[in-house]
Copies of this chain bind each other. A is one copy, B any other.
Amino acid sequence: MSKFLRRLGVGAVLILVVLAAIYFHYLPLALLIIAWSFLAGREFTALLNRQGIGLPGLLIPVVNLIYPVLYVFLREVGKTRPASPGMEAVLIPMGIVALYSLVAKPPRGPKLAFSAFAVLYLSILPFYAVLLRVYAYEHLAHAFAVVLYPLLVTWINDTGAYLFGKWLGRHKLSPEISPNKTWEGFIAGLVVSVVFSTLYLPSFLPPVNRLEAGLLGLVLGVAAQVGDLVESIFKREAGVKDSSSSLAEHGGFLDRADSLLFVVPLFFYYLT
């Protein structure tokens, strides 16, 4: 099978799985995000261990499960309805990694700091997709379209930045972190995000006018590209191009969602 066809096939399967998970119920989406947090936690551990941090393979993946599993448990079994995460969501995992760091081999400080950061980055941030889905389906008329909006604006931004950057790119954006990115691509990504937002959002979120939708598109476009660059920091310092090859030409689980990690929480706080 050619690389192009494999890329297309994996991409189509990913999109269908995500759309179906969002459409039917919050629970399949939660399970998808939980699985992602676990797998991205494994990839992130591997990136860190290439730099000699020496974390056990399952520490970050397992502490990443604590908050999302507790959320689902409280909703399904406890019949309470947890809102956006309280600080416990990160203090409990942090307490566990602090205890671990006391019995770990040196370097202990980086083990503790990177694990606590990983909980925020790969367990709390992605779970805002579930919080967004729950909020939208409880409060909004066009819930599916609204939940899809941050995904669409991110994909459109990434694609716009990539294509225009290839075509017109001259000035490097951040040569040390991500050498292929250009200012021309960055700006083009923002322009398509703004245009898309002004066309899409006012239809599905009626009180939002075109100006506000455009501003939101601008902010989320910047957040998408910041998210992409932040992940690149960790890949670059580990000396690899992709976080793994689990998704064939799409790279790893972390690569596929890096831009979304900052976009979805920002959109959630904008909505609520």
Instruction: Give me the interface of A with B, judged by CB distance under 8 Å.
Output: 51, 84-91, 94-95, 98-99, 101-102, 106-110, 112-114, 116-117, 120, 124-125, 174, 176-177, 226, 229-230, 233-234, 237, 262, 265, 269
> Would B265 and A108 count as touching, CB distance under 8 A?
no
A237 touches which one: B106, B125, B233, B269 (CB < 8 A)?
Answer: B106
> Would B109 and A237 count as touching, CB distance under 8 A?
yes
> Would B106 and A176 count as touching, CB distance under 8 A?
yes
Residues of B within 8 A of A117 (CB): 112-113, 116-117
User: With A109-B233, A233-B109 given, is the CB distance from A120 to B94 under 8 Å?
Assistant: yes
Residues of B within 8 A of A177 (CB): 102, 108
Q: How far is the CA of A226 from the CA of B237 in the complex (A)?
A: 31
User: With A86-B85, A237-B109 given, is the CB distance from A265 to B114 under 8 Å?
Assistant: no
> Would A230 and B86 count as touching, CB distance under 8 A?
no
Residues of B within 8 A of A109 (CB): 51, 114, 233-234, 237
Give the 7 A-B CB pairs with smallest separation, nearest first. A113-B117, A108-B233, A85-B87, A116-B117, A113-B114, A109-B237, A113-B113
Nearest CB in chain B: distance from A131 CB, A = 10
Nearest CB in chain B: distance from A118 CB, A = 8
Nearest CB in chain B: distance from A241 CB, A = 16
* Residue of chain B at shortest CB distance from A118: B113
> Would A102 and B269 count as touching, CB distance under 8 A?
no
> Would A110 and B110 count as touching, CB distance under 8 A?
yes
A120 touches which one: B90, B106, B230, B262 (CB < 8 A)?
Answer: B90
User: With A102-B174, A114-B113, A117-B117 given, is the CB distance from A108 to B226 under 8 Å?
Assistant: no
* Residue of chain B at shortest CB distance from A227: B98
> Would A230 and B101 count as touching, CB distance under 8 A?
yes
Q: How far is the CA of A51 from the CA of B106 in the complex (A)?
A: 13
**New A-B contacts (10) at CB < 8 Å, excluding given A86-B86, A87-B90, A91-B120:** A85-B86, A86-B87, A87-B124, A98-B262, A99-B226, A102-B177, A108-B237, A109-B233, A109-B234, A112-B117
